[in-house]
Structure 1
Amino acid sequence: MALPKIGILGGGQLGRMLLQAAIDLDFEIDCLDPDPTASCHTLANKFVVGSFKDFETVYQFGKDKDLVTIEIEHVNIDALEQLEKEGVNVFPQPHLLRMIQDKRLQKTFFKENGFPTADFRLTENQAELMNHTDFFPAFHKLGKGGYDGKGVQLIAHTDDISKGFDAPGLLEKAIDFEKELAVIVARNPKGEIKSFPTVEMVFHPIQNLVEFLVSPAEISSKIEEKAQKIAIDLIAKMELVGVLAVEMFLTKEGEVLINEIAPRPHNSGHQTIRGNATSQYEQHLRAIANLPLGDTSAELFSGMVNILGSEGFEGPAKYIGLEECLAIEGVYPFLYGKKITKPFRKMGHVTILGHSREDIVNKANVVKEKLKVESGKWKVEN
């Protein structure tokens, strides 16, 4: 069979891992990114410097491709719709990206289609928060533009209203949850669907980024079935092609509620590299190319720790403790090729394999203690 010529909008670390997975299947992949030093710039078949938010740039980039996909959802939808009209396959589909880009539309979709989610109210500006004081504590979320914890603000009481966003958004009731879960699920154009085991996520207390996760999640078989059913039913209802990350809350009453979704490979699936028979990256490529989906099973427990730039350091990246971590059985670092570190910048991740949840947690704690990203020149230690 002839493999499609693929274009990826975005050249960051997710694109880098897509490219690494693509090598085994010999896909020809070009990348578009505004940063000439982005993680993909040395790996792509062709790397184009330009804005994935600009209509003409995206259109010109995509018009000679068989297939266009994304590694970030904040892209120019109008250009993707035009490419789709002209016969280019665009996955995930542009109309779904348009809905997912706007959290207001996303949450409304969940509600209208019977998917469980936290109660919410739509707001047009900051002043409208005064009309919803009975709804506090709640999280005010920007409708568009929020990413990696940005665009979310806790409104606990009226004194916090000034922290809200003076733009269209939604006010989401704060959930007293027990755990944060995620399911990565994939679908190809034939309608074949496969999901990965549910994972349990722990977020960084300051940056609101996934800091650590464990797979499988420590939940009952009943909760696992609920989470899996929600993710599978959701991707089927959307008819989305590609990988979909479904982030969820497990409440103390045993309810499973959708928090947010991402129509691409996701931080909550990094551990699938080494941890599962097929990684989320290979699965995404299989899905968009309409190939049979891969086996998602895992023989061991797995985990993931984000490698973030250390606070107080900015400049050429220097990895402290990398050698010690490489010496630990079942610890696999993946660095993203970013030469400059900044506080809390995602510089890589570590996939961890072990024979028990306790084994994963213990190794993760060692990695978090030992592995730091500071700034300085690398040198050989005698």
Structure 2
Amino acid sequence: MNYFSSDFKLGILGGGQLGKMLLTETRKFDIQTYVLDPSDEAPCKIGSNKFFKGSLMDFDTVYNFGKQVDVLTFEIELVNIEALEKLESEGIKVYPSPKTLRLIQNKGTQKDFYTTNNIPTAAYKRFENVTALKTAVANNEIALPFVWKSTEGGYDGNGVKVIRNSDSFNGLPDVQCIAETMIPFKNELAVIVTRTPSGEIKTYPVVEMEFHPEANQVEYVICPARIDDAVAENARAIALKVSEHFNHVGLLAVEMFQTEDDRILVNEVAPRPHNSGHYSIEASYTSQFEQHLRAILDLPLGNTDSKVAGIMVNLVGEEGYSGNVIYENIEKILGQDGVTPHIYGKKETRPFRKMGHVTIVNQDIAEARRVAQEVKSTIRVISQ
């Protein structure tokens, strides 16, 4: 099939920053791209060939959108799976497949999948609601502390909380959830695996993630991870095993813990471009967004090696600020070598909302990390 400068149409469910960065690649290759998003102010609106406003969870909206395209992908997992299944049954190529998405969309189902397939993961128990979980804690069936996770709807630190005592339950929604054993770990790592319909597979280098202690969001992504080669090799091997069992098409970001004794435990996965791969736009031979596009169109995969060390700094809304966004001191970081800001196009900021990121590249990973810290302390995402 001719994808380039043709009548071929690619559909993207979700018009956020991931879709916006994917559109950079579709425009580079002159591939017609349609986008569906519930917001009239979605970042993707200005970059797509056609933009449609509508709910990603409404069957008819997703189905009718999907009937207009040749290949359908998504930048967010919260989409109507039944509509995707019907589209697939009618010949529309959906990547990753609805079958893969069903396994991933519910965190309890996802954890069960790891256990069934002998993929190392933290011990856990599933509960129909928080009321049942509280009863289990009261009966000493669950030991404190543990990590509470909502099985559905969580993202960017939402839907996750450390439960240390009875007061920690305050404010939690009474929804289906899991209680996960807290793991003492050295590092949080991630590996992105790419797979085509024809079966070509490539992995990106292992990255290291540093999290904000309060928001439970990634603050820094460091590539390559500052870990032993043997640990990195094991992490990539486990990521490949996860990819093989999901049998996905496109990108699969596999988040992991490196324990104190250097075991690798899978935390969770995302079947799409991922925050842990943003560094690749400047630092890699092939960015994760171009690679996702190559994969879902069954084109040869690109080189995943890094050209230089890369560190990504997330730009999130400052606490205490809501309203029309201002990127304070952005001109100062623009004057630094190897520093590239990406602004997502969200007009309104609020505390901890992802508004952009900055990539720092350098031949020396230690120097890149130093500059990243400087960038983090210089630019502020505030409001008018």
Same fold by TM-score, threshold 0.5 exceeded? yes
**5 Å matches for 1:1-382?**
1-3=1-3, 4-129=8-133, 130-132=135-137, 133=140, 134-162=142-170, 164-376=172-384
Q: What SS does structure 1 have at the residue aligned with 2:361?
A: strand
Give 1:380's aligned residue.
none
Contact in 2 for aligned 1:62/1:83 (Cα 8 Å): yes
Contact in 1 for aligned 2:186/2:260 (Cα 8 Å): yes
**In 2, Cα distance between equivalents of 1:366 and 1:224:** 28
> What's the TM-score once normalised by structure 1's chain length?
0.96
Contact in 1 for aligned 2:34/2:69 (Cα 8 Å): no
Gaps of 5+ in 2: none
Measured against aligned partners, the alpha-carbon deviations of 1:148-175 in whole angstroms (never above 9, x if no partner) come to: 1111121223453455542221111011
**In 1, Cα distance between equivalents of 2:247 and 2:373:** 39
Identity in percent:
48
> What's the TM-score once normalised by structure 2's chain length?
0.95
Gaps of 5+ in 1: 377-382
**In 1, Cα distance between equivalents of 2:56 and 2:275:** 21
**In 2, Cα distance between equivalents of 1:43 and 1:327:** 27
Contact in 1 for aligned 2:316/2:352 (Cα 8 Å): yes
Contact in 2 for aligned 1:214/1:360 (Cα 8 Å): no
Contact in 2 for aligned 1:198/1:227 (Cα 8 Å): yes
The amino acid that maps onto 1:169 is: C
Measured against aligned partners, the alpha-carbon deviations of 1:198-230 in whole angstroms (never above 9, x if no partner) come to: 000011122111111110001111100111001
- Larger mean CA deviation between 353-362 and 124-133 belongs to 124-133
Pairwise CA distance, 1:353: 0.2
The amino acid that maps onto 2:18 is: L
**In 2, Cα distance between equivalents of 1:294 and 1:88:** 25
Measured against aligned partners, the alpha-carbon deviations of 1:164-205 in whole angstroms (never above 9, x if no partner) come to: 542221111011111000011110001111011000001112
The amino acid that maps onto 1:172 is: E
